[in-house]
Structure 1
Amino acid sequence: MFLTRFRFNTARIGARRLLSSPQRLHAAVMFAFAEPPPQGDGGPRVLWRIDRNGRAETYLYLVSPAEPDLTHLVEEAGWPETGRWQTYDYEPLLSRLAKGDTWAFRLTANPVHSIRRKADEPTKVTAHVGWRHQMDWLLQRQEKAGFAVLEKEPEQRLQTELDHYDLTVHDRRQLEFTKPGQRKPVTLVTVTFDGRLQVTDPEAFRRTLTVGLGRAKAYGCGLMTLAKG
């Protein structure tokens, strides 16, 4: 597995065009591989995420089974003369994950739930729009995903139960695009989680980092990255 970071030159039209469409950006990410990586077979897959750290500081993070070649992105949306990308071997970090490890993390996800208005109607997948429901969506999945979100120190807590966790929800976005050959647009609501966690099941957690968490993985959701903290 490999972890890659690429910085967009947001002054360029090509960068803005890609960043405005998850569909185009997904295609650009997949063009980074000479042989199409496996997708949707239950094993490690290509995951990606856009981080906007400032007006002119936008990064693509990419986790993949094969090492990517982002020459086309540099030429279209980067700095062709001076810009590159950084790719790191992800296996050393994955292999040393151990129960009890603590990490800071970031995850962009598509928190949804299934609803039914009437008993005889089929269920419909609907986005969570409130931050409390979005936070609860992640907390409901943490055990199976091999981690536990850490709790705040007692003096830092507010009155509500969800405020006990070292977790924030931000950068809510509603994305709309049309898939090739379809007329009806696809609408996705995405949010970014920042927080601190403890590894509870290293094998399950490695799977979370390489397979992703939640839906809409092809469109920039599901990739969790770690940092010391």
Structure 2
Amino acid sequence: MYLSRVEIDSNNRAKTRDLTHLGAYHNWVEQSFPAEVAAGERPRHLWRIDQLNGRRYLLVLSEEKPDAEKLVTYGVRGTVMTKSYDHLLATLHDGQLLQFRLTANPTHTITKPGERQGRVVPHITIERQRQWLIARAEKSGFELVQNVSAEDPDGQPTWSFDIVGREWPELHRRVGQGVRLSRVTFEGLLRISDVATFKETLIKGIGREKAFGMGLMTVIPEA
């Protein structure tokens, strides 16, 4: 596995004018693996957009190394970085405390009486979005850390994570009108409870719309 990053050339409007919706970013990621495209292969590549010190970055997790020239198509030359992800995976263990960042698409299914298939809708409120992550922690191989020294007004422990971004980027459909997807970014602390399951979570992602920049969780050991 490989984790790659490139700074998006946001100041070059002529270069990035095509990046108007999530499908364009998806295409950029896919075209960064020309050998897979030529072979007709479509492995899942997790990706997301990060912002750091006023700069925007494309982050990609993949089984194979991306083509650096393709990855810099809409990026700043000299900023492409690709590192092996296997070393990090090998250092993980049960009980380990990690800082995490996750961009995801929190949703739930509404099924009305008489319907055979429910309708997937986004969680709108911050509290519902937070509960969405809390509910998925155990089956994803981790537990979210609670602040034992800090209490909310009701006298309950508070969670050591926050929502640091909430957006509604557009996705253009080939058929019909475009849609806006709920994109929520979480940051905080977690503890690994099942390392095998947690590794699968890091590799496969969490939630829906993974092809369009959702689901990628990254972690670093807590100092």
- TM-score, length basis structure 1: 0.87
* RMSD, aligned CA: 1.9
* SS of match in other structure, 1:35: helix
Q: Which residue of 2 aligns with 1:120?
A: 114
Indicate the residue corresponding to 2:36 in structure 1: 35
* Equivalent in the alignment of 1:189: 182
The alpha-carbon deviation at position 79 of structure 1 amounts to: 3.0
2:82 is the counterpart of 1:87: yes
- State how far apart, in whole Å, the 2-side matches of 1:160 and 1:71 are: 54
Supply the distance in 2 between the matched residues of 1:153 and 1:160 (Cα, whole angstroms). Answer: 14
Cα deviation for residue 177 of structure 1 reads 2.3
Task: Give 1:18 deviation, angstroms.
Answer: 5.0
1:20 and 1:163, CA in 2 relative to 1: closer, same or farther beyond 3 A? farther
> Which residue is 1:78 aligned to?
75
Q: Tell whether the 8 Å contact from 1:8 to 1:15 is kept in structure 2 after alignment.
A: no
Identity in percent: 35
Alpha-carbon separation, structure 1, partners of 2:143 and 2:102: 14
How many angstroms does 1:183 deviate by? 1.8
Letter of the aligned partner of 1:27 in structure 2?
N
Three-state SS of the structure 1 residue aligned to 2:199 is: helix
- Partner residue in 1 for 2:58: 60
- Cα distance change on mapping 1:191 and 1:148 into 2, 3 Å: same
- Cα distance between partner residues in 1 of 2:216 and 2:122: 18
- Give the match for residue 129 of structure 2: 134
Q: 1:27 to 1:139 in 2, by over 3 A?
A: same
Give, in whole Å, the separation in 2 of the partners of 1:160 and 1:90.
Answer: 42
Q: Return the letter of the residue paired with 2:3.
A: L
Taking the aligned partners of 1:221 and 1:161, their CA distance within structure 2 comes to 34
Name the counterpart of 1:100: 95
Cα 1:143/1:98, change in 2 over 3 Å: same
Alignment pair present for 1:170 and 2:164: yes
**Is the Cα contact below 8 Å between 2:152 and 2:158 reproduced in 1?**
yes
**Cα displacement (A) at 1:93:** 1.1
Establish whether residue 210 from structure 1 lines up as the match of residue 203 from structure 2. Answer: yes
Contact 2:169 2:180 in 1 (8 A): yes
Alignment partner of 1:164: what SS? strand
Compared with structure 1, are the counterparts of its residues 98 and 131 closer, same or farther at alpha carbon in structure 2 (3 Å cutoff)?
Answer: same
CA shift, 1:123, in A, is 1.6
**Which amino acid is the alignment partner of residue 31 of structure 2?**
F
SS in 2 for 1:25: helix
Q: Deviations over 1:99-149 (max 9, x none)?
A: 011100000000000113x41234211100111100100111111100001
For 1:161 and 1:69, the matched residues in 2 are separated by 53
Structure 2 unmatched runs, 5+: none
CA contact (8 A) 2:94 2:192 kept: yes
Contact 2:97 2:189 in 1 (8 A): yes
Q: Is the 8 A contact 2:144 2:190 kept in 1?
A: yes
Q: Aligned pair in 2 of structure 1 residues 124, 97: CA closer, same or farther (>3 Å)?
A: same
Are the counterparts in 1 of residues 5 and 57 from structure 2 also a CA contact under 8 Å?
yes
Runs of 4+ in 1 over 4 A off after TM superposition: 160-163
Alpha-carbon deviation of 1:161? Answer: 8.3
The residue number in structure 1 matching 2:141 is: 146
Aligned position for 1:228:
221
CA distance in 2, matches of 1:98, 1:31: 35
Q: Is the 8 A contact 2:48 2:213 kept in 1?
A: yes
Match of 2:26 in 1: 26
- For residues 182 and 214 of structure 2, the distance between their equivalents in structure 1, rounded to whole angstroms, comes to 10
| Structure 1: gaps of 5 or more residues | 40-44
